[in-house]
Structure 1
Amino acid sequence: MIELAPDQLPPLARWFAAGSPGTAALAEHVPASGTGRWWADRAPAPRALAVSCAGHVLLRGDPRALAPDALAVFDAHYVQAPAGFLPALSGAFGRIVPWERMLYVHQVPVAAPCPPHGVTVRRLVPEDAAALAALAPDAAWVHASWGGPAGLAASGLGWAAFGKDEVLAVACTYFHGTAYEDIACYTDPAHRRRRLALACVTALCQDVAGRGHTPSWTCSRDNRPSRLLAWTAGFRLAHEYVHYLTGQPARRGPAPDAPSDHPAAAVPGDTKAPPR
């Protein structure tokens, strides 16, 4: 596939449904945030289109238009696509791992728990970029959809638990859509089981609702801690789906958004919330 410049994009309404929850919101997040990249089988009148951000890919269109190795640029990505794209993925990669996913939608308002003594939960501001950057390397995924810690801190769409000037936990809008905001959270391993993630998530959910949007939450079916946190925070299961982790490309191309620091290291197949 070839990369498209923003001014080469076709009208997106025919490719992606507006107002979708979960990872599908990244099709709206990319043009709004300026992060991520667009790909197509050809620039004029594309027949197959892809959008990638933070190690996730959405594929749409006619897979028959793709060359055998066209999808090799999406090595080490989580791909969500109609079933018709599976032969094209199989032709491009020697390994495709399906991950069963669960999509939750926020339905039950929950009061934020009181943070422990000495901990403050508040909205992130641009000056917090350095504190976000100081998180452990395995936390880099949490701000990847904003292009890094400065992007998330400046977005106004993140909440964090602070101990003095140190970020102990953070929750943020990961993919910002026009109706849904898919959220993510991370807690420093040394501060888990203190309900810090719940405090950040509930504050964020109230913030999202105040914008007239609905929070959504996606995680691996096997990630019981993430599922429990979602339920406790007022999310309820909407549906289940499968996405595919790609690897061993038949012919390597430049990886567009390779997730070098990804929560899959903590929870295989999970891109949203490591164990807390």
Structure 2
Amino acid sequence: MVLPAYGSIMIELSDKEKIRDWFRPEVPGPLIGPHVMRTGHGRILVDDPAEPGTVLAETGGGNYDLSGDPAGLDCDKLPHGFYRTDEDFAPLLAERSGELHRWPRVVHELTGEPKPVPHVAAGLRLLGPGDTAGLEALSPELRWITETWGGHAAAAASGLAVGAFVHGRLVSVALPFYCGERYEDLGVITEAGHRGRGLSAACAARVVEGVLRRGRRPSWSTSPDNLGSLRVAAKLGFRLVREDHLYVTGFPPPPAS
């Protein structure tokens, strides 16, 4: 995974334990900082390694968490992407990233056991290192599913992703898109020609089982107009816990799929 450079004096933090409390208490939703802390995929930059006042966490796919004092964001420019931050940073994002959009999101949590899902006509299993090629063969618009893991090989090797196979082809994938200390936020994709067959729900249900075995809680983040994603979340028993938003810089928010 290649992460963008900055025209700045923001410094990559090597001793990440120093800022662990910045991401507590952990809540359902995009867990960018906790994901970097737990998995090592991504990086954390600060204004001052000795006494951080501004923290920028980033993973692949242009996902960022920006917190602290806006005055400490000493960057000439910021990369385009998806920012989890508060409104105090919005003027700086507009100034240093260009086009700025506020993207509504809804966050769900599974507080009990998942609802059972019907059997599907596909082979379901955990993915492993040998499935990298299957992930690479997904349609281009679906390959984002592995970005927070640093790419297809790392996602396949994580032992956390579940895939559905039809005639030997990987057509649906679910995994923890973000892994935190308390929550794991799910991501799921299914090839267009195989939607409406319950594959997303079946894969996600298997991932939920793994999240619960690890002693964490599953969460589900999507946009309020993504009816397909909302249907899958409801089918599994997820319930809305809050409305939220991300700031999107440099391009319009992606359409619902």
User: Do the two structures share a fold, i.e. TM-score over 0.5?
Assistant: yes
Q: What TM-score do the two structures reach when normalised by structure 2?
A: 0.89
2:52 aligns to what SS in structure 1? coil
Residue identity in the other structure for 1:213 = R
| Structure 1 residue matching 2:77: 3-state secondary structure | helix
Deviation (angstroms), 1:206: 1.4
Mapped contact 2:28–2:183 kept (Cα < 8 A): yes
State which of 112, 116, 132 in structure 2 corresponds to 1:111.
116
- State the distance in 1 between where 2:157 and 2:117 align: 24
Q: Deviations over 1:35-71 (max 9, x none)?
A: 112222344433211001131111111112234xx27
Deviating above 3 A after TM superposition, structure 1's stretches of 4 or more consecutive aligned residues are: 1-6
Letter in 2 for 1:101: R
| SS of residue paired to 1:194 | coil
Matched, 1:57 2:64: yes
Counterparts of 1:64 and 1:204, CA distance in 2: 40
Query: How many percent identity over aligned positions?
Result: 32
Q: Which residue of 2 aligns with 1:96?
A: 100
User: What are the Cα deviations for residues 6-35 of structure 1, in whole angstroms up to 9, with x where unaligned?
Assistant: 425461134221433210x22121132221
Corresponding position: 1:233 with 2:224: no
C-alpha distance in 2, partners of 1:97/1:196?
32
Distance 1:13 1:265 in 2: 31
Partner Cα separation in structure 1 for residue 15 and residue 211 of structure 2: 32
1:152: which partner in 2? 155
For residue 130 of structure 1, report the CA deviation from its aligned partner: 1.1
Q: Which residue of 2 aligns with 1:21?
A: 28
Q: Pick the aligned partner of 1:37 from 34, 37, 43.
A: 43
Which of the residues 183, 187, 190 maps onto 1:184?
187
CA distance, structure 2, for counterparts of residue 64 and residue 10 of structure 1: 23
Equivalent pair of 2:10/2:73 in contact (CA under 8 Å) = no
List gaps (5 residues or longer) in structure 1: 249-261, 268-274
State how far apart, in whole Å, the 1-side matches of 2:73 and 2:147 are: 28
- What residue identity is the alignment partner of 1:94? G
Q: How far off is 1:265 after superposition?
A: 4.7
Normalising by structure 1, report the TM-score.
Answer: 0.83
Partner Cα separation in structure 2 for residue 110 and residue 74 of structure 1: 40
Instruction: After TM superposition, list the pairs within 5 Å mapping 1:153-232 onto structure 2.
Output: 153-232=156-235
Question: What is the count of residue pairs matched by the alignment?
Answer: 248
SS of the residue aligned with 2:55? Answer: strand
Q: Give distance in 1, aligned partners of 2:54 and 2:216.
A: 30
SS in 1 for 2:104: strand
Q: Deviations over 1:167-220 (max 9, x none)?
A: 111100111111110000000111111111111111111121111111101011
- Aligned equivalents of 2:211, 2:239: Cα separation in 1: 16
Structure 1 Cα separation of the partners of residues 228 and 166 of structure 2? 23
AA in 1 matched with 2:115: V
Q: Is the 8 A contact 1:18 1:28 kept in 2?
A: no
Indicate the residue corresponding to 1:255 in structure 2.
Answer: none
Question: How far apart, CA to CA, are the structure 2 residues paired with 1:66 and 1:169?
Answer: 39
Structure 2 distance, partners of 1:205, 1:71, is 41
